[in-house]
Structure 1
Amino acid sequence: MSRPSRLRRLSVWMNGIHVGEWSIAVRGRHEFAYATTWLDSPLAVPLSHSLPLGDSGEVFRGDLVERYFRNLLPDSDSLLRRVQSQFQTDSISAFSLLAEIGRDCVGAVQLLPLGEQPKSTKSIQAQPLDEAQVANAMRHASSSPQLGQGRPRHFRISLAGAQDKTALLWHDSQWCLPHGSTPTTHIFKLPLGRVGHEQVDLSTS
């Protein structure tokens, strides 16, 4: 397979603040650099111990960068291929998938195209769901998209892991599908295997 012919880049944000930039160089090497504004901020924290805060202009390169971002995704190839199928990405690489679904990651991190600003983290943006819609969300979390099914309007990463999970927001005594940077409040871990109509019960929620 030929390597990318041009630089690919994503902006990294945390709680609505610009943290840095993740890129893949022409030869396929992963690179990450913290933004000077982040390094100068009293709120600055490292993304991980493997990517410590340092001097302005310092660039992290190679596997340690790729591993950090890969760990924001589920560790099941079957789940990654499901996301690939939904969004028609060119591969299941961390960069390809997070370029599509990186607006909601573990640990308040967001990945956005260069030039795009995250939506406000101070307002709640969500779609109220009835029980039938919640049940439908559970089924979609554990099934591959059908032929001809469109791309989902809102897709969120809940937690890494091999078991199917989805996440929703409980707000104003109602389950909701959060949009943008609005956080989730509950993780739904689905039973292994197919989820049928009779297996989704919210009566004790």
Structure 2
Amino acid sequence: MADRADDRHDVWLDGAHAGTLHRARGGDVTFAYAASYQALRAAPSLSVSMPRHVTEHAPEVTMPWIDNLLPDNDAVRARWAAQFDERRPTAFNLLRHMGADCAGAVQVVPAGEQPQDGAGSTPLAEAEIAAHLRELRADDSSWAFEQHGGRFSLGGQQGKFALARGADGSWHQPTGRGASTHIFKIGVDGVAHSAAAELVTMRAARALGLSVASVESAWFEDQAAVVVERFDRLAADGSRARRLHQEDMCQALGLWRSAKYESDGGPGVRDVAQLVARAVDRRDLARSRDDLARAVVLNWVAAGTDAHAKNLALLHVGARTVLAPLYDLVSASLLWPADEVRYKARLAMKLGGEYRLRALGARHLERAAADLGVDAVWLADVAVSYATAWPDTVRDAAAGEHDLLPGDVAGQFVDRAAARGADVVRALRVRAGGGEASARPGGATWVPAHERAGRSVVGHWRTHPGR
């Protein structure tokens, strides 16, 4: 299908017509809200970067926003363009075909159509899911169940696909009307056990008290998958799942996907924290700010080297905005040898002005606290708590996953987590009174857990007399 000089797509948000995308003759795409949507009292904006009280939005924000609805993987985009006979794999062209089930509550359809006009979903047998997992492992650009007319679009780089789970546990391929509820992942191509590392990292993070999307492993014949429950779906008993609107930080800041890493000109910790302070509802701001700070610390402790701006999101529920649960967490400390993590790993966002894990210490954490707008003493407490608990939470998260994670690999995960946790505690230590303790802002020092007179003493902060 040849590109048209002038074209329109309708954008629907949670079942309401939000507005229209318009592509001009030169290829620029703009967005205009529908007056009926602007009149709604408690509806979210399409994006923080495109507030609904402003009717028309220019290409500078519209085009990056819709581009971020699609996979980062250019091979997937090229495959879709070829499948639908599109001359160019632009976001506008591809969303015409694959926009019926995007991230959040967004549905993009050709102008004049309603997303519920299409068929709802196709039941899938275990053998069909297994066959598609094999196909995806052979070619990680094969995201969609093309033979069933799958119509979903997700961001990200690694191979994945989205399905809906019925109340009876059966799996279905949504084709437009119904919303997908779960995302299937097989890991990063060429990185052994990366899917298992994501499963373990997500579970460990949840055990540490962070808000994290639910995750499980599943087998279909001889094929394993990590299955993530979508936090942007609200399942009602016996009825179709409702879409909840969300957007990643690149979308909220009006940035292209190429700027997802800070080193490529993307946002840093301070930028994200300022966005949260500006966008989140006042009633939820303290919690969202603390959740962001915990996520930043976790990515340091776990060596989350791919924790870029597209792996953080805002969740819009009506007119209320909060920081979304965490997703796509993968600890490099589980996959890489300890020395490689220690001396070569770099964070996706600077912590207190530093990328390199080997260079990070207490002073960087204190600077990060200022960037995040949180108390430095509290953030140091979080860091020590996470670092000391990391090996045990990894061990518990890996337990019971013997089919996905062989015993020797699970043991390696735990050993590497222990080495990483020790590195973080060591990075926080300073010499104090001839011994080693962790520097706490405000003049206290961290005393690690130890034995005294045959009794166990838990780790604790010690305040120096006279302070």
TM-score by length of 2: 0.38
Per-residue deviation, 1:199 = 5.5
* Offset from partner CA, 1:177-202 (integer Å, 9 cap, x none): 123231222211123339xx986147
Q: Check whether the contact 1:19–1:38 (CA below 8 A) recurs between aligned residues.
A: yes
| 1:16 and 2:15 aligned | yes
Q: Distance in 1 between matches of 2:93 and 2:153?
A: 18
Q: In structure 2, which of residues 124, 129, 142 is the aligned counterpart of residue 134 of structure 1?
A: 129
Q: Check whether the contact 2:162–2:182 (CA below 8 A) recurs between aligned residues.
A: yes
| 1:86 and 2:83 aligned | yes
Give the equivalent residue in structure 1 for 2:164: 169
Task: Report which of the two has the higher share of helix.
Answer: 2
Per-residue deviation, 1:41 = 0.8
| 1:69 and 2:61 aligned | no
Q: How many residues align?
A: 191
Structure number with the bigger relative contact order (C-alpha 8 A, sep ≥ 6) is 1
* Offset from partner CA, 1:24-54 (integer Å, 9 cap, x none): 1122221110000000012321111110112
Q: Structure 1 residues 28 and 159, CA, compared in 2 at 3 Å: closer, same or farther?
A: closer
Q: Distance in 1 between matches of 2:170 and 2:147?
A: 22
Q: Structure 1 residues 169 and 158, CA, compared in 2 at 3 Å: closer, same or farther?
A: same
SS at 2:71 equivalent: coil
Per-residue deviation, 1:92 = 1.2
Q: Distance in 2 between matches of 1:103 and 1:201?
A: 27
Q: Distance in 1 between matches of 2:73 and 2:99?
A: 17
Per-residue deviation, 1:18 = 0.2
Q: Distance in 1 between matches of 2:52 and 2:22?
A: 18
What are the ranges of 5 or more consecutive residues in structure 1 without an aligned counterpart? 146-150
SS at 1:63 equivalent: helix
CA RMSD of aligned residues (A): 2.9
Q: Distance in 2 between matches of 1:91 and 1:51?
A: 26
- Percent of residue pairs identical: 36
Q: Distance in 1 between matches of 2:19 and 2:70?
A: 19
Q: Distance in 1 between matches of 2:106 and 2:90?
A: 18
Give the equivalent residue in structure 2 for 1:6: 5
SS at 2:97 equivalent: helix
| 1:191 and 2:190 aligned | no
Q: Structure 1 residues 29 and 125, CA, compared in 2 at 3 Å: closer, same or farther?
A: closer
| 1:60 and 2:88 aligned | no
Structure 1 or 2, whichever has the larger Rg, is 2
Q: Structure 1 residues 28 and 91, CA, compared in 2 at 3 Å: closer, same or farther?
A: same
SS at 1:83 equivalent: helix
Q: Distance in 2 between matches of 1:8 and 1:126?
A: 28
Letter in 2 for 1:110: Q
Per-residue deviation, 1:168 = 1.2
Q: Structure 1 residues 21 and 128, CA, compared in 2 at 3 Å: closer, same or farther?
A: same
* Offset from partner CA, 1:153-178 (integer Å, 9 cap, x none): 42233531110111111112212212
